Amino acid sequence: MHRSAAGFRAVCLAFLLAIVASGCTPAYNKYSAEFTGLFDTVIVLTGYAANEAEFKNYSDAVFGCMDELHKLFDIYHEYEGANNLYTVNKNAGVEPVAVSAEIIELLNMSKEYFELSGGRVNIALGPVLSLWREKREAALASPDTADIPRPDELAAAYELCDLDDVIIDEESGTVFLAKPGMSLDVGAIAKGYAADQAVLAAKEVGAESFLLDAGGNICAVGKPMDGRPSWNVGIQNPDSERSEGSVIDTLRLSGAAMACSGDYQRFYTANGMRYHHIIDPETLMPANLYKQVAVIHESAATADALSTALFCLPLDRGRELAGSLNAKAMWVDKNGGLYYTDDYE
Amino acid sequence: MWFFILILALALALFFAFSQKREGLSARISLGNEVVREVDLSEDKVIRLDGLPNVLLEVKDGAIAFIASDCPDKTCVNTGFLSRAGAFAACLPNGVSVAVVGDNPEMDAITR
């Protein structure tokens, strides 16, 4: 009797050892799914689940949430059933537009980041960004005649970029752009905000171990279920344009978000010069201090907004801003020089 | 007896540790959010997708890339060859994405 109990214990131990040594809990598998068509980017979900059906549940929650927010923050199309930022822009100088709580929340956050960043994150910059977008699209269609917006055009457009003219009425749930010709563009924060919301949606249906990459806005939730203490995320070297072969840094993330801003993400060439898409509100030209900035913070919205702000700010002011928000950051300057916040690992 | 069982347990543990399948890399090609092809990256080939005659992908030396596309920005072609699990490329105007999948213990995702 005594002997068989000991034997039983040993067999249990054998199984436990087998599980530990094989390095994973056999009940979970790693899955991934991609989604194109939202926020003008690719959304990739990687995660652990008991089976494919369970993972499908998680990915449906993530993509469903992002799809909804994409429609709300879309400035190019109208959708039936709800007012979105397109509706708000269309009614600039006309009347206040009733919008969902998510839009109000995003706009309030954006106003906060405008203050914090000394005006570097400005969602009212729409008229200026439109000029650059028109030039970029024209350049892609006919590269030979590519050019950039004239300074006087940019200055005139900037007259309509005052964030104080974006009037939010929380009581009645409306947004009003006070002057005709104004327009919102939430590109600097919307993907991060949406990623945060999608993480909550996935957690609600039971997901606890996953990595969400929404076009460079990464949320690492929980730990990988294969026993590793954190998720490994590679940041691609901005110089290796033609291959993913080299990785500039590998981050170990758990319960954190990361965002990248770079001059290689979206750009066009005119008269031999490269013009990328991150416009400095101070100069109304593409910010030209760095090639790439990566920011780590617990909130993806903060990381997203901050990566744009740091991309436009001199290093010392950027360090100060990152520190004040408990964010970690990495900068890659024009010559490939690397700079970090003190606590960056 | 005790000792014998313990040795057996260790042997079993080692067996499990090393018998984990080491799969080669493959690429998953999606249209929208629907997977349309899974291709083994160990075999060189050129891939054309149904309904998208102007998009060409190539598998070469264990890597995959968009080699032609009728999109205006050519971001997909400029991404180049993908050879690590976790890497992906996309042609947004055509709604095509390619993700490299396989065992990659070092990297869960690669971002730009």
pLDDT in tens, A204-258: 999 999 999 998 899 999 999 988 899 999 887 777 554 555 678 889 999 999 9
Q: How many of the other CB atoms lie within 10 Å of CB of B42?
A: 11
Which of B75-81's residues contact partners 24+ apart within 8 Å by CB, and which partners?
B75/A266, B78/A241, B78/A242, B79/A242, B79/A244, B80/A240, B80/A241, B80/A242, B80/A243, B80/A244, B81/A242, B81/A243, B81/A244, B81/A245
Is residue B101 very low, low, confident or very high in pLDDT (cuts 50, 70, 90)?
confident
Residue B67 has pLDDT above 60, yes or no: yes
Q: Which residues of A touch B88 (CB under 8 A)?
A: 34, 42, 44
**Is the CB of residue A281 less than 8 Å away from at least one CB of chain B?**
no
Q: Which residues of B touch A14 (CB under 8 A)?
A: 5, 8-9, 12-13
The token pair that represents A191 in the structure block: 């993907």
Say yes or no for a CB contact (<8 Å) between A46 and B86.
yes
The torsion angles phi and psi of A190, rounded to 5 degrees, stand at -60, -40
**Is the CB of residue B32 less than 8 Å away from at least one CB of chain A?**
yes
pLDDT in tens, A311-342: 999 999 999 999 999 999 999 999 888 999 98
Compute CA distances A35 → B33, B51, B101, whole Å.
5, 19, 15
**Is the CB of residue A76 less than 8 Å away from at least one CB of chain B?**
no
**Is the CB of residue A234 less than 8 Å away from at least one CB of chain B?**
yes
DSSP string, A70-84: HHHH-SS---TTS--
pLDDT in tens, A31-63: 999 898 899 888 999 999 999 999 999 999 999
Average pLDDT of span A130-138: 94
The answer to whether residues A302 and A321 touch, using CB atoms and an 8 Å cutoff, is no
Residue A227 falls in which region: left (phi positive, over 0), alpha (psi -120 to 50) or beta: left
**Is the CB of residue A243 less than 8 Å away from at least one CB of chain B?**
yes
Give the ipTM.
0.72
Measured CA to CA, the distance from residue A36 to residue A21 in angstroms comes to 38
Instruction: Check residue A175 and give its pLDDT.
Output: 98
Name A105's Cβ contacts closer than 8 Å, sequence gap at least 6.
A193
Say yes or no for a CB contact (<8 Å) between A243 and B108.
no
Q: Which residues of A touch B111 (CB under 8 A)?
A: 213, 216, 218, 233-236, 258, 260
Residue A6 has pLDDT above 70, yes or no: no
The token pair that represents A205 in the structure block: 């249906």
Say yes or no for a CB contact (<8 Å) between A243 and B16.
no
Taking the whole predicted model, whether its pTM rises above 0.80 is answered as: yes
Is residue B73 very low, low, confident or very high in pLDDT (cuts 50, 70, 90)?
confident
Instruction: Check residue B18 and give its pLDDT.
Output: 46
